[in-house]
Structures are given as C-alpha cells and as structure tokens.
C-alpha cells in the first residue's frame, strides 16, 4: 500500500511540475531563420499568468530543444503574495538560452486582445538576440485557451531589422499551462 501511495505521490508531483513549466503538449511547425541560420522549430510551450499591468498574458516559447521544467520553475519562482510581471516568463527563457545554452528559438508574449507585447529572437550569444517590432509581425490566433492555436510570421519572408535578417513563419497548437497568480 505504501509503495502505491509513494508512486501516486511521485506521479502527482511530476504532473504538477510539468503543468507549471508549460509542458510541451502541442504541435509546432514552420521556419525560423536568423542571418542565414535555420533553427529547427520542434518544441512549443505556452503559459498564461496574470500581471498587475497590463493584465492577463500568454507567453510562448518556440525552440529547437525543450525547456528544462526544473530550471524554468526556479527562474520563475515568486514569493507568497507576489505576482508575475510582464517579462518574467520570457526572461526565464532568455536566461535558459543565454546562460544555460539549452536551446535556440523565438519567444513572444500575447495580450488578451492577441497583440504581441514582447518578443525576442534567441539565436546565438546574448548580444546577437533582438526583438521585432509589432509592425513587422503578423499574428493570427484562433484560440487562446485552453489551447493556443495560431500562426505568427514576419510580414515579409525575410525582414531586415537593423543589421539582422530574420524570417519567421510558425504555426502552433499547444495546451496553455496556468502559472497561477
């Protein structure tokens, strides 16, 4: 009986850790090309959370390798009574890319009205990463919850932003994990 209870407890803890980290329970396809480097988009993660301002957000990571749920949980830990702020979730993914060197990809955050309020291309060293102005992106979202379904792309197949050339055309369908309040 005790062994069965221990197994059930471990299964519950694994499920909770996966849910809080935005388990990759979705499909993603398309292209991410940065300065001639093609990043294979194979994993997608989406998490929703409330912030004091601008309100409810959904952050998405599209990457070549999965994000480490344990590191994500550590980088996004908040204290009792604290709330997430815009940029905290994507900041965790930036740290995992830059410091931990675990994946390359693209991260973006959507407001409830389906606008991109924040994004970052995560390819190469920190100084090579950059954001894309909303004017250069097309976002087509058909569902925000419980699954995020849609497409994000640059308006042109290849767009020049300062000295960077980037082409994004990504289709996604992923369960949205709730980070809580």
In degrees and rounded to multiples of 5, residue 180 shows phi and psi of 85, -170
Q: Is the pLDDT of residue 25 over 50?
A: yes
**Distance between CA 156 and CA 169 in Å, rounded?**
10
Considering the chain, what is the average pLDDT of its residues? Answer: 88
pLDDT band at residue 73 using 50, 70 and 90 as cut-offs:
very high
Note the pLDDT tens digit of each residue in 100-141: 999 999 999 999 999 999 999 999 888 889 999 999 999 999
**Distance between CA 128 and CA 122 in Å, rounded?**
8
Q: Which residues contact 8 (CB under 8 A, 6 or more apart)?
A: none
Which pLDDT belongs to residue 127?
A: 85
**How many other CB atoms are found less than 10 A from the CB of residue 131?**
14
Question: Which is nearest to 145 in space by CA: 15, 49, 54?
Answer: 49
Q: Which residues pair with 175 in a beta bridge?
A: 147
Give the residue carrying structure tokens 């390819």.
Answer: 123
pTM: 0.85
**Distance between CA 24 and CA 44 in Å, rounded?**
6
Q: Which residues contact 57 (CB under 8 A, 6 or more apart)?
A: 48, 49, 50, 51, 86, 89, 109, 110, 111, 112, 117
**Could you tell me if residue 114 is left (phi over 0), alpha (psi between -120 and 50 degrees) or otherwise beta?**
left
DSSP 78: -
């Amino acid at each position: 009986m005790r062994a069965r209870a221990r197994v059930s407890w471990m299964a519950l803890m694994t499920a909770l850790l996966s849910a809080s980290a935005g388990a990759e329970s979705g499909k993603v396809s398309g292209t991410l090309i940065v300065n001639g480097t093609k990043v294979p988009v194979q994993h997608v993660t989406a998490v929703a959370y409330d912030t004091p301002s601008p309100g409810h957000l959904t952050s998405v990571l599209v990457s070549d390798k999965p994000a480490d749920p344990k590191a994500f949980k550590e980088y996004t830990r908040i204290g009792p009574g604290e709330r997430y702020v815009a940029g905290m979730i994507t900041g965790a993914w930036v740290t995992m890319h830059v410091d931990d060197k675990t994946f390359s990809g693209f991260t973006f955050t959507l407001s409830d009205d389906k606008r991109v309020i924040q994004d970052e291309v995560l390819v190469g060293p920190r100084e090579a990463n950059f954001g894309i102005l909303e004017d250069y992106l097309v976002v087509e979202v058909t569902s925000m919850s419980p699954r995020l379904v849609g497409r994000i792309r640059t308006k042109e197949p290849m767009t020049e932003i300062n000295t960077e050339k980037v082409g994004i055309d990504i289709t996604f369908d992923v369960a949205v994990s709730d980070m809580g309040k």
